[in-house]
Structure 1
């Protein structure tokens, strides 16, 4: 149940304008009711008051590329190790942990189904607002086909339903059918694999996957249901195919060039860079058993990631944010902001992870900024993330986390006014 809370004397980073000192924010009925600046007290009353001196109030973070079902860093092997029952419990733990890291909304890019979303909504587990893709769609031999070259059985026929599972399908008719199937099963959006990827065993990053006709079939299914397609796409040609087909967001985009970035900007297509996953795999992939063939692709993607972000920025592409972190590394999602800040600056990285992500999700009228009548998804941070963005990666510095007006974490005392 939400409560009425007054955050008093905070530094407000509302992700709309410039930071404001001495701000007060009144939360009531799950919404942001009133904001005052310069020490002025809101007219409304609150059940609890939080002293914000020395702290920053900002929107709850949003991650638009998570894999809640990625239990292990080495996703090539995890489907061989976990029965559905055990996988479900582990995914639930990841969801709960995600909220405690300050992420109040996440978009799953494949692996979690609508049941986990329902579990959060029904209060069975504590977690962020969850949007799901169910099974991503991949061509045979594509980024979502995890069979090794010596394996000849049906794709993932051995695998549990829960985890990091893909749907292999080929041709416009099959893509249309299986996109509709994901929607029937509660998907909020469709995910397609439009190019090769680092972790898939039989393709290269530069590989162009799914034809324009196949991509348009997925977009047709999504638009008919009032939603959109997100596409794993790294190679420029694959990205251009996606833009032409009407895909809403390009995930990763590490090999993007200026020509492709200009097309994205003209079409209003979002880019979701995922720098943290490549950095983590670069540092620890070998330790987790990631094969050398995949590690070579990881190194290329990591090395090109900063250049890709610079290209997108100078061409006016809408830059959103996702972490894509797998397994235990998923507890460090805010590292993505640190890496992006090297190109975008701290405020730019925060904007990408709040306001722009909310726009990508079509939820910018509800979340992503601190404004009256929006949902009260808030973080009260010890310190100033604009000066040291690393504070967002330290759970001990997240003094208060609010989701839908309800305090889900607090390390500070409150008092009645």
Structure 2
């Protein structure tokens, strides 16, 4: 029994788009660090996320099944993890981090470092896509992540590019469906979003460069939009090209949120922080930033039970399908927070969890109590 002293009880929060090992490690760590080094940094960041009040996360690229197992067995503190394992990319796509002087794996070359550490998997053609999806399922993925358009972090693909053919995407969807789960796709541009939806993808990750008819189409087709309230400064890039792509992405944030509300799209919230461990605490700031686009009540719903509804699309692959989370209800898992203040009145309380989260409970176990 904990005397809340008039504080506000709420469900544990969730983040629908994290990169646990990518968020916990720098570029140097990922390139030069051992697999153990990378995993231990990820495990430490898992604890930090839990102390920020995030009791469940959907990991959208990275070898996290071992970290998940250690947390689930109670060996280390951390959130419940829905792993995607390696994100799947075509050659020259958003997940191809091989250098231009290296021969692609499809043409007989060696795996890039990103593939060696299980962060990405490069595949071309239906057969390789099928094998890559099945490989991630074999390694414990609860859903599949596929790159369908350009991005800011990658070196070779402008934002307008469309990646994977219709047949390749349908192969990925078929393989995931056979395992009772779904495909989520990284994509910003209109053409890529339409191609993904036509192939049967259930979740669009990002979508910041969509137009209003495309957002309306997501509502009609009941496809989720897993969105991030990106702003300049959330990511930093060392060259003008990638910095320019980041600026373009950020300009779409306000419009897409407005259109999504207008058309009743199912929207999830995530952060997608990557390769800058010093910025990991921005996860909490971005949670509070959701209040710039939604009422505090709607934002809190999205941060808790709303995200959980998306996670449940994993169906038979859902590692936590036996109980509810993201709600305060009889019979639900006890993933709860005690807030020193009322986030319904001031969502910015969530931006400083060290100060304002008095109690964090996961699965009925108190992991933080400053009362």
Name the TM-score, length of structure 2 as normaliser: 0.91
> Which one of 25, 29, 35 corresponds to residue 84 of structure 1?
35
1:185-232: CA deviation from partner (whole Å, max 9, x where unpaired):
111111000110011001111211112211111111111111111110
Q: Distance in 2 between matches of 1:337 and 1:358?
A: 15
SS at structure 2 position matched to 1:69: helix
> Which one of 313, 338, 346 corresponds to residue 261 of structure 2?
313
Confirm whether residue 400 of structure 1 aligns to residue 359 of structure 2.
yes
Superposed displacement of residue 51, structure 1: 2.8
SS at structure 2 position matched to 1:52: coil
**Counterpart in 1 of 2:273?**
325
Superposed displacement of residue 407, structure 1: 1.1
**Counterpart in 2 of 1:360?**
310
CA contact (8 A) 2:98 2:112 kept: no
**Counterpart in 2 of 1:109?**
60
Assess, with a 3 A threshold, how the Cα gap between structure 1 residues 278 and 134 changes in structure 2: closer, same or farther: farther
* Equivalences for residues 208-227 of structure 1 within 5 A: 208-227=162-181
* Bigger Cα displacement from structure 2, 128-137 vs 267-276: 267-276
* Equivalences for residues 179-194 of structure 1 within 5 A: 179-194=133-148
Superposed displacement of residue 52, structure 1: 3.3
Q: Distance in 2 between matches of 1:160 and 1:148?
A: 11
**Counterpart in 1 of 2:318?**
none
**Counterpart in 2 of 1:58?**
10
Superposed displacement of residue 71, structure 1: 4.6
- Structure having the larger proportion of residues in helix: 2
**Counterpart in 2 of 1:138?**
89
> Which one of 44, 49, 54 corresponds to residue 2 of structure 2?
49
Q: Distance in 2 between matches of 1:403 and 1:203?
A: 40
**Counterpart in 2 of 1:25?**
none
Unaligned ranges ≥5, structure 1: 1-47, 413-417
**Larger Rg over CA atoms:** 1
**Counterpart in 1 of 2:347?**
389
Superposed displacement of residue 94, structure 1: 0.8
**Counterpart in 2 of 1:173?**
127
* Bigger Cα displacement from structure 2, 82-91 vs 178-187: 82-91
CA contact (8 A) 1:73 1:328 kept: no
> Which one of 298, 308, 321 corresponds to residue 246 of structure 2?
298
Q: Distance in 2 between matches of 1:191 and 1:277?
A: 23
Unaligned ranges ≥5, structure 2: 313-320
Q: Distance in 1 between matches of 2:369 and 2:145?
A: 35
SS at structure 1 position matched to 2:252: helix
Superposed displacement of residue 85, structure 1: 2.0
* Bigger Cα displacement from structure 2, 57-66 vs 363-372: 363-372
Confirm whether residue 268 of structure 1 aligns to residue 218 of structure 2.
no
* Bigger Cα displacement from structure 2, 188-197 vs 300-309: 300-309
Q: Distance in 2 between matches of 1:223 and 1:191?
A: 13
Q: Distance in 1 between matches of 2:233 and 2:184?
A: 22
The CA RMSD measured in Å over matched residues stands at 2.0
Q: Distance in 2 between matches of 1:313 and 1:237?
A: 22
Superposed displacement of residue 161, structure 1: 6.7
Q: Distance in 1 between matches of 2:9 and 2:117?
A: 35
Name the TM-score, length of structure 1 as normaliser: 0.81
CA contact (8 A) 1:355 1:364 kept: no
Q: How many residues align?
A: 357
CA contact (8 A) 2:340 2:357 kept: yes
Assess, with a 3 A threshold, how the Cα gap between structure 1 residues 373 and 162 changes in structure 2: closer, same or farther: farther
CA contact (8 A) 2:288 2:349 kept: no
Superposed displacement of residue 364, structure 1: 11
Q: Distance in 2 between matches of 1:78 and 1:355?
A: 34
Assess, with a 3 A threshold, how the Cα gap between structure 1 residues 273 and 279 changes in structure 2: closer, same or farther: farther
